[in-house]
Amino acid sequence: MTRDIQAILIDKQTISQRVLSLGQEIDIYYSKQGIKNIVAICVMNGAIVFFCDLVRSLKVDAEMEFVRVSSYGNSSKSSGQITISKDIETSIKDKHVLIVDDIVDSGNTLSQLSAIMQARQPASIKVCTFLNKPSRRQIDFNPDFNGFIVPDEFIVGYGLDYAGHYRQLPYLGILNPSVYNK
């Protein structure tokens, strides 16, 4: 498996430190707003590792919810249309929502998911992404909180995958193009 990794982009220690500081940024934001409770929604499967570490770092009380959305399937490129295969189970009406995803790439998935959640009338919606690839943006969408800005490479590890593989890597690696250009 490691022979499929072209290079390590961000190591485990750097990830851990950034997740902790990101949690502090989020706590400061909600504290300044006087918000003590949020609903943190994990976009599965890619964000699960990041989500767990992030939520454990928060001081604000976070009810955890999960949504499964896809726009990639087994491809390395987004289709542009999202499919929800698992929805949240809690009403978010009048609640403060934090959507947590692994990466914002084209912006399509998070834009569409945010609109779906906004229609459910929460008090507020904020988006936190572990990674941000602004060079790939197709629509004007920027997360409210972001871990790292990354280059236009196919990145795996720390929950991110290619066709369901590599999620368990404790670091972020650049996937060798020979793996997905078959």
Q: Catalytic site residues?
A: 105
User: What sign results for the dihedral spanned by CA atoms 16, 22, 28, 34?
Assistant: negative
Q: Tell the residue number behind the tokens 């998070």, with chain if given.
A: 110
Q: Residue 147, class by beta-carbon neighbours within 10 Å (0-12 exposed, 13-18 middle, 19+ buried)?
A: buried
Q: Where are the alpha helices (DSSP H) in 33-90?
A: 48-57
3-state helix, strand, coil in the chain (%, to 5): 30, 35, 40
